[in-house]
Amino acid sequence: MELITNFIKIRGTFCIEEIPKPTGFIIFGASGDLTARKLIPSLFGLFEKNLLPSNFYIIGAARSALNDESFRQKMLNSIIEKNKSDYISNVKLFLEKCHYISGDYDDPSLYKTLKQKLEALDKKAKTKMSHVFYLATPPTVYRKIISHLGLAKLTKENTKLVENVRVVVEKPYGHDLQSAMELDKTLKNVLNERQIYRIDHYLGKETVQNILLFRFANSIFEPIWNRNYIEDIQITVAESIGIEHRAGYYEKAGLLRDMFQNHMLQMLSLVAMEPPISFDADRVRDEKVKLLRAIRPFDREMIKKDIIRAQYDRGIINGREVPAYREEEGVKPDSNIETFVAAKIMIDNWRWNGVPFYLRAGKRLAKKVSKIVIRFKRVPHSMFKPLTPDDLEPNVLMFHVQPDEGISLRILAKHPGPKLCMDSLEMDFQYSDIVKGELPEAYERLLLDCMLGDQTLFIRDDDMEVSWSLFTPILKTWEKDLDGKESSPLLFYPAGSWGPEKSEEILKRDGREWIKI
């Protein structure tokens, strides 16, 4: 296969970016890993790009006994680690905007101290502020924090000092449908839906955002984006790493909860949804929910036939032997938690009737890669005798989500030489071709949108409810049927592979195979 090198000329570039109104950003769990690796470096990235308002501040809140200075030093280290190849010019000015308070999340005095700190900083700003509360904590304390924020009246909007209040909630949003609805009820006791930002960082990735523009800003694709021209759609999210000291979380969650209920379904909905009437947040999310409602529910027979679950065994990754999941620290030696899932999903609507969507995700796979693959139908007739339609490879469109973000299109074309000489060529676009340096961190986009009050890339309550309703029956079936006699049994695959061989059977049964990625 040849690669066509693109020399990309950008014409008519049309970029719109807003700067938020004055904002106070409050992070619960500020001493944790998410804050250090993602949140503070992303906020600093926005600051460097002049996308934060002149009046802003950050307050970290956590149990760890830090003060302003030790918190700033910790955040400086994380910024330097993230930007080690770049000269950091404004870091001192940024860190002066960072503050810290400590306390227990179930202690009312923490919220009293926080309220006093907010009032002092808001008065100093001499303008009405928006407040963003980010819950970068374990999910077990979400309800405590939300309840205390309500009791302290910190969620009240349109006061003398505060204009808007928004709350960002990280995944996992619940453990199943019932727990997700209970959490939502707690939030709705003190917040309205407009204030709730359920975050999924995959929606902040450039290539995922590009799906909407690719589909609906180009007239050449929409007419063929349906069952008449598309053979199947495949979505793969593969990681070469294991659970990385997260056994406590993973033993309770598993791969289906960790990836399918959120990331995988969100990408599927963007690929398959109908055109929204506008780029307004609720109009986009209306169509996503309609699509999710059209997914065929999994009955017991479908769970047995169309879903494969597996767990990684010992294997070789990058030339070194790695342990089995059951040998990881903190994992039960007889654990039945899945680290790999492959599934066939059908959508019962006019556009996609009969088109299978094949999804797979897993830990300790051959390489780290996330791709969405659209495989088009083969030509119905071959005029190129003696070649038959089966000899002609179908066109394939790929969205490369990570790494090497971009889009590629595989076509057939004449190869120089004999009159009938055909080859498969790949037209490949990568963001690295046109963007100097690293792409913006996904959290930058999402944090900025939250401060702007734009919920387009966040999960709405009905979206969350439908996605959990699809997968909760599968989880309940697995929990009851540990030996897999009545559902899909737990299989094993060597680390460094593409999962269990049986995951190929889902496609082979339909006369298809996974596209090589």
Residue whose entry in the numeric block shows the structure tokens 């065929």:
296
As a whole number of angstroms, the distance between CA 506 and CA 342 comes to 8
For the record, the structure tokens of 196 come out as 């709730």
What is residue 512's DSSP assignment? -
Residues 354 and 272: beta-carbon distance below 8 Å: no
As a whole number of angstroms, the distance between CA 362 and CA 344 comes to 15
Residues 58 and 27: beta-carbon distance below 8 Å: yes
Closest CA to 143 of 181, 100, 110, 96: 181
**Cβ count within 10 A of residue 180:** 22
Q: Give 4-7's long-range contacts (Cβ < 8 A, gap of 24+).
A: 4/425, 4/426, 4/427, 4/428, 6/427, 6/428, 6/429, 6/433
As a whole number of angstroms, the distance between CA 241 and CA 482 comes to 26
Query: Which residues share a beta bridge with 308?
Result: 342
| 263 is known as an active-site residue | yes
Strands (E), 436-513: 490-494
As a whole number of angstroms, the distance between CA 97 and CA 91 comes to 10
Closest CA to 142 of 172, 120, 178, 103: 172
Which of 263, 381, 400, 415 is the catalytic position? 263
CB environment 105-137: b (16+ within 10 A), e (fewer): beeeebbeebeebbeebbeebeebbbbbbbbbb
As a whole number of angstroms, the distance between CA 201 and CA 198 comes to 10
Which are the catalytic amino acids? 263
